[in-house]
A and B are shown apart, each in its own frame.
Chain A
Amino acid sequence: MDAVAFALSFKLSLWTACLLAPIGVLVARTLAYQVRRGRAVLEGIIALPLVLPPTVLGFYLLAALGDASPLGAAWTALFGQGLVFSFEGLVAASLIANLPFAVQPALRAFEAIRPELREAAWVSGLGPWRTFWTVEAPLAWPGVLTGFILTFAHTMGEFGVVLMIGGSIPGETRTAALAIYDKVQAFDDAGAGVLAAALVAVSVVAIIAVQALGSRLARHDR
C-alpha cells in the first residue's frame, strides 16, 4: 500500500473540506438570504465545476495559477517555488473544483429553514450573529456536514485536475488516484489494486454517512 500517496490524498481532502466549510456556509447563506436578483445566474456559475470536464477546469486553472499569471508570479516571488506542481497549488485548484459540493447542500439546508423562524429570533431580540448560532446553525448543520463529506470524498478521487495542476510528484502531488494510474502503467497491478480498494472504502463510508445525514435532515421538524 502506497501510504505516502494515500496520506497525501487524505491531507488534500482534509484541507480542502475544512477550508471550504466556512466558505460554503458564507456563500450559501448569502445566496439564501441576501441575494434577490441574479440568483439563478450565481448558482449556475458556482455549479460550473460540476459540469466542466476536469481537463477544461485544469486548463483554466493552469492559466490562472501558473508562473505566467499574476497570482502565480506573486506566489513564486513570495515563496520561491511555483504554485503549480506544489501541494498548495493542488489545494487552490481543489477549492475551486469542489465549491459546488460544499455550497449546494448547505444552500438547500439554509433555504429549508422557514423564514419565520429567523424572524422569530429577530423579533425576540437576537441580532444576525446570534440568530445564526441559535437558529440557522442548529437547523442547517446536517447540510453543511453533508457538504464537508462530499467535498472530502470527491477530493480523494480527483484525478484530471490534480494531474494537470500538480503533475505526479511523489510525496508532493502524487495523490492516490494518480498513484493508481502510475502503478497501472508500471505494471504494478497489486499495488494499484490495494490503493483502489482503499479509495472505494472511503467512498462507501462517505455515501453511508451522507445518506444517514439526509434522513436526519428530513426528520427535522420544520
Chain B
Amino acid sequence: MSLTRRTLAGLIALAPTRAWASEGPLVAAASDLTGALPVIAERFRRAGGGPVRLTFGSSGALTRQIEAGAPFEVFLSAEASLARRLVSSGRAEGPGRVYGQGRLVLFARKGSRVRPAGGSAELVRALKDGRIRRMAIANPDHAPYGRAAREALTALGVWTLAEPRLVLGDSAAQAARFALTGGADAGLLPLSLALGPELARAGAYGRIDPTLHTPLVQTAVVLRGASREGRAFFDFLASPPARAVLRDFGLAPEGDV
C-alpha cells in the first residue's frame, strides 16, 4: 500500500467508532450475544429508540456486579436461574422474559483434524484418540455455557479425560477467542457465536445433543431503577425485528427453530 493509502487507513482507524455508544441505558448481556445484540441495538436505534450501551461478560460475573451495585438497567442472562436470583433479591423486576434458547456446539478451525459436524460422537472420538489436546470452554464456575459444557462432557463419560485438557475462558466469548486463535484445538461454544462472521469464516461446527445438559433458558430482566429508555429496549427484545435477529443467530426460543 502506498504511503497515502496507509495514512488514510490510519486516519480512518482513529475516527470514532459508532458501535460502542457512549450514552444511553446500560445493558448487561451474556457474551453469547456479542454478535447478535449490537445488531438488535442498531435496529432499536433506527426505530427511534436511541443509543444503548452494551457490556458483555459471563452471566455469573455480571450477576455479581449487579448485586454489588453496578448501574445496569437491563440484564440478558444466558440462563434463567441467575435472572431469578436477581428477582428474588429485589434487584430485578420479575418475572423477566425468556428471549431465546442457548445451544452448545463443537467448533474447530479449518484444517483441524477434528470434524465438528460429527457433533457429540466426534467429540468423544477426538478426545479418546488424542486429536483434541486442548479444548476451550467457558469457565463453568460462572458462565452458563461452561456449566453446560461440563454437564455434557460428564454425561458423555469423558469428563475425566477432558478436564486436564481444558482451557477456560473468562466468558463464552473468550472461549471462542481461544478456539479461534489457535490456543485450543477445538471448543465447546455457543451456537450464536459459531454463526457469527468471525467463526463461520474460520471453521466449522456441529451441534451437541441438547439433552446432555440442563437447558440454557435465556432470560432477560429489567433491573431496579431502570430508565424509560432501558425499559423500551427491554420491550424491544420481544419485537419482530429483534426476534428475527435472534433467530438468525440460532438463539430462537425452544420450538421456534
Are A and B direct contacts in the complex by CB distance below 8 Å?
yes
Residues of B within 8 A of A185 (CB): 31, 34, 56, 170-171, 173-174, 177
Q: Is the CB of B22 within 8 A of A66?
A: no
Is B65 close to A, CB under 8 A? Answer: yes
Q: Which A-chain residue is minimally distant from B180 (CB atoms)?
A: A187
Q: Is the CB of B198 within 8 A of A187?
A: yes
Q: Is the CB of B20 within 8 A of A1?
A: no
Q: Is the CB of A84 within 8 A of B198?
A: no
Residues of A within 8 A of B171 (CB): 185
Is A2 close to B, CB under 8 A? Answer: yes
Q: Is the CB of B34 within 8 A of A194?
A: no
Q: Is the CB of A2 within 8 A of B177?
A: no
Q: Given the complex of chains A and B, what is the CA–CA distance between A2 and B53 in angstroms?
A: 13
Q: Given the complex of chains A and B, what is the CA–CA distance between A167 and B55 in angstroms?
A: 9
Residues of B within 8 A of A82 (CB): 68-69, 71
Chain B CB count within 10 A is highest, among A1, A169, A170, A179, for A170
Residues of B within 8 A of A81 (CB): 71
Q: Given the complex of chains A and B, what is the CA–CA distance between A48 and B56 in angstroms?
A: 32
Q: Is the CB of A2 within 8 A of B20?
A: yes
Please report the total number of A residues contacting B with Cβ < 8 Å: 31
- Rounded to whole Å, the gap between the CB of B77 and the closest CB of chain A is 16
Q: Which B-chain residue is minimally distant from A190 (CB atoms)?
A: B13
Is B14 close to A, CB under 8 A? Answer: yes
Q: Is the CB of B53 within 8 A of A186?
A: no
Is A127 close to B, CB under 8 A? Answer: no
Q: Is the CB of A169 within 8 A of B26?
A: yes
The digit string for A112-138, where 1 denotes a CB below 8 A from any CB of B, is 000000000000000000000000000
Residues of A within 8 A of B57 (CB): 168
Is A85 close to B, CB under 8 A? Answer: yes
Residues of A within 8 A of B23 (CB): 171
Q: How many A-B residue pairs have CB under 8 A?
A: 80
Q: Which B-chain residue is minimally distant from A179 (CB atoms)?
A: B20
Chain A CB count within 10 A is highest, among B14, B19, B68, for B68
Q: Is the CB of A1 within 8 A of B65?
A: no
Q: Is the CB of B55 within 8 A of A2?
A: no
Is B4 close to A, CB under 8 A? Answer: no
Within 8 A of B (CB), among A66-81: 66-67, 76, 81
Q: Given the complex of chains A and B, what is the CA–CA distance between A186 and B33 in angstroms?
A: 10
- Rounded to whole Å, the gap between the CB of B41 and the closest CB of chain A is 12
The digit string for B32-44, where 1 denotes a CB below 8 A from any CB of A, is 0010000000000
Chain A CB count within 10 A is highest, among B13, B20, B65, for B20
Is A191 close to B, CB under 8 A? Answer: yes
Q: Which of A66, A169, A179 contacts B53 (CB 8 A)?
A: A169
The digit string for B122-139, where 1 denotes a CB below 8 A from any CB of A, is 000000000000000000
Residues of A within 8 A of B55 (CB): 167-170, 174, 182
Q: Given the complex of chains A and B, what is the CA–CA distance between A170 and B70 in angstroms?
A: 12
Q: Which of A1, A5, A62, A171 contacts B13 (CB 8 A)?
A: A1
- Rounded to whole Å, the gap between the CB of A4 and the closest CB of chain B is 4
Q: Which of A5, A62, A187 contacts B177 (CB 8 A)?
A: A187
A-B contact pairs, 15 of them (CB 8 A): A2-B16, A2-B17, A4-B20, A82-B68, A84-B68, A84-B70, A85-B70, A167-B70, A170-B54, A171-B53, A179-B20, A185-B171, A188-B19, A190-B13, A194-B14
